[in-house]
């Protein structure tokens, strides 16, 4: 893994974290991803990605309060770190820059 | 969460916890649980569980698995040398504390070692029998109507007659019978010999190897005799004796085998065996009720049951036999049951038991006492280690900063305490050897029961005890040190709050002292109770009475010779000695005046005496007179009873005078009541006074001579009596003891208990005192500066001593407040309930011990604090 490069799935997960705001924890992220993409996303995959994001410093996490619903286990809430926000913005800008350079991109023709 | 909510499989969760990194564990576990609940709701619990398990396994990924802590282990291993070194340095540096710790642990562990040896012996009882797991003893329950049942280890010879044909499921059985006693004549020599009757299966079922003779047939024919090697050497001087004869009275017995000596740890013990066919030939053929169903006093039956599944069937067959045979009995039921062989030496109380037996509760009691003593020494260790933490904390701080983890520090201190415990084990083993000798000296019975030899099992237990003690002692200090915050210790050593744990240490001191005080009070109260038993007014005189045991010969000649000794005032005869625990009884029938049929029958205790017995013992007659007739054996007609008999059978309206002349049938003879005695203690203090009677007999060849002695030179008198005895009986050594000594012997177990507790009290006090001393020294040392400042500001020495003592004295007072009521209740509710009669529990004894211990503690505290208070403040403050 090099630097703070953002993989595609990592980007999705990071965006989902951002969109969930204060409620971003693993299970909720999985559900939300499923809702957006329509594909089932496995906890195992998401968990690994969350862990990697944190390692890269793109996300931060903290343990919440314990609740009875999870057998008394606390949730780990994620939020996008400053570096994460920078990375997301850069990714978005990169895409937009490329988009801008595509003349007359037409959806009708391709599908 | 409700209880019946579905739960994921426990093993999967445990597995997850085992492999997962602590940082990730909690939320991951929660996530999986959330999914589990979701799946359980949507797709059923089984599916959810399956998924849960799969998930747990799938989550085993490099980033979730704990780092293998090889390095961590390696560090431990490498650091052992360092731990050893620092521990040694610490031992040497703090000589006082090391001394207190090692001596305390060694002393307490030696008691533990003794208990281990005892338990080990008891558990090894009867282990040498090859068949031990399949052998059962048939035991008997006797239930007279309207009375509480009594269990007997013995059973009737009738049972053996019926076993062979009527009980399926048993492989074999053997019957043995105690009580053969005679004078064995070999050539010209005569030896007293006691033997056991046993039938021919004896050597098949029980593992007593023969060195000569055929085990299958040795005990088959009547008048066969098997001797142990020891007996053979005594009788013949060699063991090559098969085929020789030994003469008892007029009968010749043939030696058919020589058995190896009986191992010490066996409940069946014998010097010689006589074939059971002999008993059958001598008593059985005569009738005499030898094979009666209710003659269940002297036979012991052992059966082998190869499969334990047969046991219910065997029991049913035994019940059936009891049912059939009980038809011959009136107002009484006798039932049989099986007792596993290994439960005999360490099992419940049975009457007529053979060989040594120990109550399992005794083991628990002993173990508990040892545990408590060891715990007390552990308290010392914990207390002193935590108290000294100020000095060690810098070392821990440095270790932590260099990189030791909490577990390393924990390991170090545990290792240190285990090391000290092993050092103490060496000392305690020496003490154990000494204690063992003292223990055997407590009573001859003890060396009869125990060998206390070392075996592999006991040695392993010793080592385990040391390791366990070390861990127990070191645990709290280790946890305490492991928690130390390295930075704050290094920055400012006084920042560590040594007095934070003062609550714990106070509790420990109180516990130790409460324990010591309980022990000492128990000893003193027990001792006064014991003295009380010895000096109890039994209702008759026991002073200056010498009882000589007879061995079957008529003692007329001896009496004549003894009467010539001037110091012997009077001579009586009796069949037994009362008030020392032995009892004999008869079922008697009471015939009201004029009635031909008995009105009532019941068991009455008996002593058979001659006319001199009552005057010598100064029994008080309430009505009537002493025996006046001098009938020969079998023609007696007179009976003297106590008040309880009148009460029990309602004779003469319970009026002693009116009861005279009433008829009581004893053993087939109708006897007239000629005297009524004031109640006296026939049994020991454990027994209530019950109905009892005196029968008359001119001569009691198996009983006792009771001599009233009035002598100023006892040694001389005894020598004269001994000379007379030797002229009378060449075979048996004289067995003469004063009545008071016999009573003392009857309470030997009580005195043994008092001695044991006394010893433990001594140990407990020593350990507690050592601990307290250490604490006082430590406290005064740490407070030296405070004392000096107070002194400079004008505090007086007594004031300072009071200041330092105050805390400790309060603790001691609390300990006393706990210990004294506990001791009182212990005696009142537990120990003395066994005894029907006893002295009140004295306040003086309760408080006496406490005062002594308190005084000791005060001297210790006082001397140390006074030393501190007298110190020159200028010197103390200058050096800082």
pLDDT per residue over A5-26, tens digit each? 788 888 899 999 999 888 888 8
Would the CB atoms of B35 and A27 count as touching at under 8 Å? yes
Q: Determine, for residues A75 and B61 on separate chains, whether the beta-carbon distance falls below 8 Å.
A: no
Residues of B in contact with A70 (CB under 8 A): 30-31, 33-34
Average pLDDT over residues B67-95: 79
When pLDDT is averaged across residues B550-568 and rounded to a whole number, the result is 87
Q: Would B515 be classed as within a structural domain?
A: yes
CB distance A27–B63 less than 8 Å?
no
Q: Give me the pLDDT at residue B4, please.
A: 58
Alpha carbon of A91: minimum distance to chain B alpha carbons (Å): 27
Does the distance separating the beta carbons of A47 and B31 come in below 8 Å? Answer: yes
Is B26–A70 a contact, with Cβ atoms under 8 angstroms apart? no
| pLDDT at residue B68, rounded to an integer | 65
Could you give the CA distance from residue B782 to residue B864 in angstroms, rounded to a whole number?
Answer: 13
Q: Which of A27, A43, A51 sits opposite B63 (nearest CB)?
A: A51
In this prediction, residue B300 has a pLDDT band, given cuts at 50, 70 and 90, of very high
Which has the minimum average pLDDT: B196-210, B211-225, B650-664?
A: B650-664
Instruction: Single out the residue in B313, B343, B373 at which a domain terminates.
Output: B343
Asked if B28 has any chain A CB less than 8 Å from its own CB, the reply is yes
pLDDT, tens only, B144-181: 887 788 888 989 888 998 988 888 888 899 999 988 88
Q: Do B26 and A63 touch (CB under 8 A)?
A: yes
Residue of B nearest to A49 (CA): B63
Cβ atoms of B521 and B821 closer than 8 Å = no
Q: Give the pLDDT confidence score for residue B497 in this predicted structure.
A: 55
Examine the domain organization and report whether B698 and B787 are in the same domain.
no
Instruction: Flag whether pLDDT at B239 surpasses 60.
Output: yes
Q: B34 and chain A: CB distance < 8 Å anywhere?
A: yes
pLDDT at B460: 93
Decide if A48 and B61 are in contact by the 8 Å CB cutoff. yes
* pLDDT, mean of residues A81-102: 89
Give residue B74's pLDDT. 76
- Identify all chain B residues contacting A71, using CB atoms and an 8 Å cutoff: 1, 29-30, 33
Which among A30, A47, A63 is the top mutation candidate for probing chain B, defined by the most B β-carbons within 10 Å of its own β-carbon? A47
Pick from B1, B27, B58: which is nearest to A44 by CB?
A: B58
pLDDT exceeds 90 at position B256? yes
pLDDT at B1 over 60: no
Say if the Cβ atoms of A74 and B34 lie within 8 Å.
Answer: no
CATH number of A8-95: 1.10.10.10
Question: In terms of CA atoms, which chain A residue is nearest residue B57?
Answer: A44
Is the pLDDT assigned to residue B880 strictly greater than 70?
Answer: no
Residues B411 and B519 reside in one and the same domain: yes
Domain that holds residue B646: 545-740
B59 touches chain A (CB under 8 A): yes
B149 occurs within a structural domain: yes
- Check whether residue B871 and residue B757 sit in a common domain: yes
Kindly state whether residue B79 falls inside one of the protein's structural domains. Answer: no
Interchain CB contact of B29 with A (< 8 Å): yes
In this prediction, residue B284 carries a pLDDT of 72
Per-residue model confidence as pLDDT tens digits over B839-875:
888 888 888 888 888 888 888 888 888 888 888 888 8
> CA of A94 to nearest chain B CA: how many angstroms apart?
31
Where residue B546 falls among pLDDT bands split at 50, 70, 90? Answer: very high
- Which among B1, B27, B32 has CB closest to A75? B27
Q: How many domains does chain B have?
A: 4
Cα gap B431→B436, rounded to integer Å = 8
Question: Half-sphere exposure (CA, 13 Å, Cβ side) for B690?
Answer: 17
- Contact call for B27 and A69, based on CB within 8 A: no
Interface contact B41, partner A, CB < 8 A: no
Residues B154 and B197 in one domain: yes
- Residues B729, B597: one domain? yes
Q: Which residue of B has its CA nearest to A29?
A: B31
Residues B379 and B524 occupy one common structural domain: yes
Q: How many beta carbons lie within 10 A of that of residue B337, not counting itself?
A: 17
Q: What's the pLDDT score for residue B431?
A: 93
What percent of chain B shows pLDDT beyond 90? 21
Contact check, Cβ <8 Å, B27/A51 = no
User: Average pLDDT for residues B464-491, to the nearest whole number?
Assistant: 85
A65 or B737, higher pLDDT: B737
CB contact under 8 A, A26 and B27: yes
Q: Which residues contact B19 (CB under 8 A, 6 or more apart)?
A: B60, B64, B65, B66
Alpha helices in B443-568 (DSSP H): 444-449, 456-482, 486-491, 502-534, 556-563
Asked if the structure places residue B5 within a domain, the reply is no
Report if residue B653 sits inside a domain: yes
Q: Are residues B335 and B374 in the same domain?
A: no
Phi, psi angle pair for B554, to nearest 5°: -65, 135
User: How high is the pLDDT of residue B464?
Assistant: 94
Q: What is the ipTM of this complex?
A: 0.86
- Measured over the CA atoms of residue B347, residue B349, residue B353 and residue B359, the dihedral's sign is positive
Q: How many angstroms separate the CA atoms of B427 and B14, rounded? A: 44
Residues of A in contact with B57 (CB under 8 A): none
Report the percentage of chain B scoring pLDDT > 70: 96
Phi, psi of B261 (to 5 degrees): -60, 145
Which among B413, B393, B396 is positioned nearest to B476, based on CA atoms? B413
Q: Does B3 touch chain A (CB under 8 A)?
A: no
Mean pLDDT taken over chain B: 86
Nearest CA in chain B to A73: B30
pTM of the full structure? 0.70
In a domain, B101, yes or no: no
Cβ-contact B640, B693 below 8 angstroms:
yes
Does position B465 have pLDDT exceeding 90, yes or no? yes
CB B34 to CB A69 under 8 A? yes
- Note the Cα B864 to chain centre separation in Å: 41
Question: Residue B40: its chain A contacts at CB < 8 A?
Answer: none
Same domain, B275 and B316: yes
Chain B residue numbers with beta carbons less than 8 Å from the beta carbon of A62 are none
Q: B470 near B428, Cβ under 8 Å? A: no
Q: How far is B338 from chain A (nearest CA, A)?
A: 53
A41: three-class secondary structure by DSSP: coil
The tokens describing B566, both together, are 């001037």
What is the Cα–Cα distance from B692 to B648, expressed in whole angstroms? Answer: 10
Among B685, B708, B740, where does a domain finish?
B740
Q: Best of A70, A72, A74 to disrupt the B interface by mutation (most B CBs within 10 Å)?
A: A70
B309, B343, B377 - which closes a domain: B343
* pLDDT for position A2: 46
Partners of B26 on chain A (C-beta within 8 Å) are: 63, 73-74, 76
- Residue B294 carries which DSSP code? T
Q: Are residues B551 and B502 in the same domain?
A: no
B65 touches chain A (CB under 8 A): no
Q: Which of B30, B63, B65 would you mutate first to test chain A, the one with the most A CBs within 10 A?
A: B30
Longest Cα pair distance anywhere in chain B, in angstroms? Answer: 109
Q: Helical H runs in B147-246?
A: 157-166, 202-205, 229-236
Provide, rounded to the nearest whole percent, the portion of chain A with pLDDT above 70: 90
CA distance B145 to B704: 35
Do B177 and B299 contact (CB within 8 A), yes or no? yes
- In 3D space, the residue among B328, B286, B306, B338 whose CA is nearest the CA of residue B155 turns out to be B338
- If pLDDT is split at 50, 70 and 90, which confidence band does B260 have? very high
Please name the member of A44, A51, A71 whose beta carbon is closest to the beta carbon of B30.
A71
Q: What is the pLDDT of residue B788?
A: 87
Q: How many angstroms away from the CA of B59 is the closest CA of chain A?
A: 7
Q: Which structure tokens are listed for B138?
A: 């048939």
Instruction: Report yes or no on B78 lying in a domain.
Output: no
B437 and B325 belong to one structural domain: no
Q: Is B61 on the interface with A (CB under 8 A)?
A: yes
Q: How close A87 comes to chain B (CA, Å)?
A: 23
| H or E stretch at B215 | none
Cα–Cα distance measured from residue B310 to residue B168, given in angstroms and rounded to the nearest whole number: 9
If phi > 0 it is left, if psi is from -120 to 50 it is alpha, else beta; for residue B652 that is left
Distance of CA B183 to the CA centre of its chain: 36
Distances (CA, A) of A44 to A47, B32, B387, B603, B791: 5, 10, 51, 85, 72
Do B329 and B435 fall into the same domain?
no
Task: Please choose, from the candidates B781, B799, B773, the residue with its C-alpha nearest in 3D space to the C-alpha of residue B861.
Answer: B773
Q: Distance (Å, rounded) from C-alpha B648 to C-alpha B662?
A: 14
pLDDT tens-digit map of B488-541: 777 665 545 555 566 777 888 888 889 888 888 888 888 888 888 888 888 898
Within a domain: residue B76? no
Find all residues with CB under 8 Å of B809, minimum gap 6, and list them.
B858, B861
Task: Give B826's DSSP letter.
Answer: I
Residues B527 and B397 both lie in one domain: yes
Q: How deeply is B414 buried, as exposed, middle or buried, from its count of CB atoms within 10 A (0-12, 13-18, 19+)?
A: buried
CB nearest A43 (choices: B24, B29, B35): B35
């Amino acid at each position: 893994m090099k630097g703070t490069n953002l993989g595609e799935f990592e980007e999705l997960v990071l965006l989902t974290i951002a969109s969930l705001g204060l409620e971003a924890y693993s299970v909720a992220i999985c559900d939300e991803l499923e809702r957006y993409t329509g594909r089932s996303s496995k906890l195992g995959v998401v968990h690994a990605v969350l862990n990697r994001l944190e390692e890269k410093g793109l996300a931060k996490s903290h343990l919440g309060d314990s609740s009875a619903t999870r057998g008394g286990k606390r949730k780990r809430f994620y939020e996008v770190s400053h570096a994460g926000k920078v990375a997301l913005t850069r990714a978005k800008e990169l895409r937009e820059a490329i988009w801008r350079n595509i003349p007359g991109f037409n959806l009708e023709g391709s599908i | 969460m409700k209880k019946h909510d579905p739960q994921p499989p426990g093993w999967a969760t445990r597995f997850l916890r085992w492999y997962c990194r602590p940082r990730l564990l909690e939320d991951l576990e929660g996530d999986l649980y959330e999914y589990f609940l979701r799946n359980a709701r949507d797709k059923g619990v089984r599916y959810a569980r399956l998924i849960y398990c799969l998930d747990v396994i799938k989550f085993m990924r490099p980033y979730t698995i704990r780092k293998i802590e090889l390095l961590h282990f390696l560090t431990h291993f490498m650091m052992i040398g360092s731990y050893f070194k620092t521990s040694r340095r610490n031992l040497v540096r703090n000589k006082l504390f090391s001394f207190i710790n090692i001596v305390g642990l060694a002393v307490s562990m030696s008691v533990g070692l003794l208990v281990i040896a005892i338990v080990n012996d008891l558990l090894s009882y009867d282990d040498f029998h090859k068949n031990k797991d399949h052998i059962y003893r048939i035991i008997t329950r006797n239930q007279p109507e309207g009375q509480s049942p009594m269990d007997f280890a013995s059973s009737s010879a009738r049972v053996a007659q019926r076993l062979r044909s009527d009980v399926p499921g048993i492989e074999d059985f053997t019957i043995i019978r105690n009580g053969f006693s005679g004078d064995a004549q070999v050539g010209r020599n005569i030896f007293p010999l006691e033997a056991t009757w046993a039938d021919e299966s004896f050597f098949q079922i029980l593992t007593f190897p023969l060195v000569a003779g055929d085990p299958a047939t040795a005990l088959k024919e009547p008048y066969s005799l098997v001797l142990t090697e020891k007996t053979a050497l005594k009788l013949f001087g060699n063991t090559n004796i098969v085929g020789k004869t030994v003469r008892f009275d007029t009968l010749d017995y043939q030696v058919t085998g020589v058995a190896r000596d009986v191992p010490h740890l066996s409940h069946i013990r014998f010097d010689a065996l006589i074939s059971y066919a002999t008993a059958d030939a001598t008593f059985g053929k005569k009738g005499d009720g030898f094979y009666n169903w209710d003659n269940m006093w002297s036979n012991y039956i052992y059966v082998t049951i190869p499969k334990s599944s047969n046991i219910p069937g065997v029991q049913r067959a035994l019940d059936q036999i009891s049912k059939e045979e009980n038809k011959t009995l009136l107002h009484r039921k006798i039932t049989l049951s099986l007792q596993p062989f290994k439960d005999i030496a360490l099992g419940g109380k049975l009457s007529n038991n053979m060989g040594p037996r120990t109550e399992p509760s005794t083991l628990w009691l002993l173990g508990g006492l040892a545990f408590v003593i060891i715990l007390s020494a552990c308290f010392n260790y914990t207390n002193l280690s935590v108290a000294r933490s100020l000095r060690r904390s810098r070392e821990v701080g440095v270790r932590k900063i260099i990189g030791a983890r909490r577990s390393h520090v924990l390991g170090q201190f545990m290792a240190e305490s285990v090391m000290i415990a092993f050092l103490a084990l060496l000392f305690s083993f020496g003490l154990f050897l000494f204690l063992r000798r003292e223990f055997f000296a407590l009573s001859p019975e003890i060396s009869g029961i125990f060998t206390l030899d070392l075996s592999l099992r006991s040695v392993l237990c010793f080592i385990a005890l040391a390791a366990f003690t070390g861990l127990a002692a070191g645990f709290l200090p280790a946890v305490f040190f492991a928690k130390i915050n390295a930075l704050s210790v290094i920055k400012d050593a006084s920042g560590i709050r040594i007095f934070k744990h003062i609550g714990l240490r106070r509790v420990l001191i109180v516990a130790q002292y409460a324990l010591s005080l309980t022990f000492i009070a128990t000893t003193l109260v027990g001792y006064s109770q014991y003295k009380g038993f010895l000096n109890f007014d039994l209702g008759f005189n026991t002073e200056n009475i010498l009882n000589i045991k007879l061995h079957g010969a008529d003692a007329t000649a001896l009496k004549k010779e003894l009467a010539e000794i001037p110091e012997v005032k009077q001579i009586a005869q009796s069949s037994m000695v009362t008030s020392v625990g032995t009892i004999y009884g008869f079922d008697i029938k009471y015939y009201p005046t004029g009635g031909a049929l008995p009105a009532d029958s019941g068991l009455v205790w008996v002593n058979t005496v001659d006319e001199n017995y009552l005057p010598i013992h100064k029994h008080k007659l309430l009505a009537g007179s002493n025996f006046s007739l001098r009938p020969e054996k079998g023609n007696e007609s007179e009976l003297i009873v106590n008040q309880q008999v009148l009460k029990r059978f309602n004779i003469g309206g319970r009026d002693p005078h009116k009861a005279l002349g009433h008829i009581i049938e004893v053993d087939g003879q109708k006897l007239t009541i000629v005297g009524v005695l004031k109640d006296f203690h026939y049994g020991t203090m454990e027994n209530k006074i019950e109905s009892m009677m005196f029968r008359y007999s001119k001569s009691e060849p198996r009983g006792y001579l009771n001599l009233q002695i009035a002598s100023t030179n006892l040694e001389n008198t005894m020598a004269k009596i001994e000379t007379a005895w030797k002229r009378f009986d060449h075979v048996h050594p004289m067995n003469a003891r004063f009545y008071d000594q016999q009573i003392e012997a009857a309470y030997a177990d009580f005195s043994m208990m008092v001695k044991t507790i006394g010893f433990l009290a001594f140990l407990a006090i020593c350990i507690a005192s050592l601990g307290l001393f250490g604490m006082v020294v430590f406290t005064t040392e740490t407070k030296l500066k405070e004392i000096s400042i107070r002194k400079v500001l004008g505090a007086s020495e007594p004031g300072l001593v009071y200041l330092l003592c105050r805390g400790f004295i309060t603790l001691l007072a609390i300990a006393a407040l706990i210990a004294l009521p506990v001791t009182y209740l212990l005696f009142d509710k537990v120990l003395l309930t066994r005894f029907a009669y006893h002295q009140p529990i004295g306040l003086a004894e309760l408080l006496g011990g406490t005062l002594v211990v308190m005084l000791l503690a005060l001297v210790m505290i006082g001397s140390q604090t006074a030393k501190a208070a007298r110190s020159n403040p200028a010197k103390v403050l200058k050096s800082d």
